Amino acid sequence: MDEKNKPRNRRQAFVRLVDYLKPHKGSVAIGVTANIGLGLIALIPPLIYRRITDGVILSDAPAAQRTHTLLLCAAGAMLAYAASALLVFCRSFVMHVLGEKIILELRRSIFSRLQMLSLSYFDSRQTGEIMSRVTNDSEVVESFVNHAADTLISDVIKLFAMVTVMFIVSPTLAAIALVPVPILFVLAFRFSKRVRPLYRRIRERLADINAGIQERISGIRVVKSFAREEYEYGRFDAEASSYYDARVNAVKQWASFFPQVDLLVRSGIVAIWAVGALLVMRGQTTMGTLVMFHSYLGMLYEPVGNLARINDTIQRSLAAAERIFEVVDEQPAIQDAPDAVKIGRIQGRVELENVSFRYEDGEEVLKEVSLTAEPGQIVALVGRSGAGKTSIVNLIPRFYDPIAGRVLIDGTDIRTVTQASLRRQVAMVLQDTFLFNGTVSENIRYGKLEATDEEVREAARIANAEEFILEMPSGYETEIGERGIKLSGGQKQRLAIARAVLADPRILILDEATSSVDSESEYLIHRAMDRLMEGRTTFVIAHRLSTIKHAGQIIALEHGRIVEAGDHSTLLDADGVYSQMYATQFRLAEDAG
């Protein structure tokens, strides 16, 4: 982040956090009132101790009178402490509940925004770093509510009330007691200026650690297969050490600040006792007043010390809030037009008109691509890795927008319809099958959340999945683990097909993933795909050219351009890119046989 923008962003973050508190004015008012009450009640016991010292311990009054005074003072002190305990409970309960509400609202805001953001946002960011903003940063902000939102106001009021009482009782001792206060404020201001940039650095280092852990756990099988445990530990150690260094830097600031504060506070106490003792000896004040001032001194300097602590809490919270609001403020690269309409049930005619496309900060991956897929037609996309096959199918559900040209469905530019209504017409079965941690039925039902159990079972039958599902311990209610870890590759693929069947799309996108499964699974998957493609416009990213002979249209791409288009026989006779690729695969298959 630009250093010049940090103060402005920090102020904006503070204002926005306060905005989150506005709907909870009642809770904040209770917290502030309770804190003010605690501050005012805290003034009472020193006055009582003054009375006990002067009116009981050092008094010449009769014993009975002094005993009566002592009992009244003791009762008053107990009442004050009881009231204080009640207010502590009220304040603590209300503000901690409020803190949890704010965390909930922040997490809702972040997650809601993350769901709205386009795929391009996630292309350039690590999952763990995003997770850190949802979890760790939002928890840090809670301390703003619990320890700063009401304390700052009440401390100012408590400080003013205490100074007023002290000046009424003894102006001389009050003036001496206030000497360290401006120095403390200066120290606190300088301290906050030094630590302000440290906390964002700490949050960033923590996010790096979380991102690294998430990535290494997700890829633990790759780590172990290459015996890279020590290498990954070294990377983690570097990240953890960087976080440690940032934390130690902040600790150094704290360690140098508080001894100075402590020295000033103790200097004030020494001064009060030295001057107070002289005043007592001269008869200009009483011993009880000196005892009272000694009790007040800790409370007098406490709000000033709290100012530094509160500022530290605020700085930590604002550093976290900045990172949160960066996500909340992020605008989706792909947005519905203001006048976008819901697209109805489509026939499935897909056209790309002179489409060019590049990923964010990348080179063009598609260059003036034009193609047409008629309703119900199977279109196969072939080409070497990086030719642009995946980029084409990503444009159809409008995951990205082209930099030139148009994508049309049934003659309608997809930028004029809502993304949600468009994507309900499109289903994807990808090579990297993703399944959620849950049951078999939950994963299939993801294609149609309101589907009945019978509809789920019918989708599984069409996908040739029911046989292996019923053999599982709990059938459709079997937990399949994170990313379907308990299933084979073929089983995961068939569940993904069942999910697509249930969605009943008009346009289907298939990224064949049969190269890593056994022959039986491949056969069952192809049969399931054939059923799924019936009557639907289908785009197939073909890895095995032998599986797309029946495609109505085969499109060969090279370097982001269409170099050939036609059916299987036509392209074989053309002796071009497709023919060469087909011949190469045929020879490889013969050699393998």
How many secondary structure helices (H) and strands (E) does the chain include?
Answer: 22, 10
The residue whose two tokens read 């079997």 is 478
How many Cα atoms are found within 13 Å in the side-chain-facing hemisphere of 441?
15
Handedness of CA 261, 87, 75, 72 (dihedral sign): positive
More confident residue, 15 or 147: 15
Hey, what domains does the chain have and what are their CATH numbers?
A: 19-328 (1.20.1560.10), 342-425+507-516+537-593 (3.40.50.300), 433-504 (3.40.50.300)
pLDDT at 590 over 70: no
- Position 366 scores a pLDDT of 93
- Res 117 pLDDT > 60: yes
Q: What pLDDT score does 338 carry?
A: 93
Highest mean pLDDT range out of 167-171, 208-212, 350-354? 350-354
Unique residue bearing structure tokens 């937990």: 479
587 burial (CB, 10 Å; 0-12 / 13-18 / 19+) is exposed
In the structure encoding, which two tokens stand for residue 323, read together? Answer: 């990172």
Which pLDDT score, from 0 to 100, does residue 585 have? 72
At residue 516, the pLDDT reads 53
Which H or E element spans position 372? strand 364-373
Alpha-carbon distance of 541 to 382, in angstroms, equals 6
- Indicate if the pLDDT at residue 179 is higher than 60: yes
User: Does residue 512 register a pLDDT over 70?
Assistant: no
DSSP 406-457: EEEETTEEGGGB-HHHHHTTEEEE-SS----SSBHHHHHHTT-TT--HHHHH
- What would the mean pLDDT of 457-478 be, rounded to a whole number? 89
Tell me the two tokens of residue 200: 């964002």
Radius of gyration of the chain from its Cα atoms, rounded to whole angstroms: 36
Mean pLDDT across 423-433 = 84
* Token reading at 97: 């509940």
pLDDT band at 381 (very low <50, low <70, confident <90, very high): very high
Determine what percent of the chain is predicted with pLDDT higher than 90: 20
Over residues 30-37, mean pLDDT: 85
- CA gap 422, 490 in Å, rounded: 29
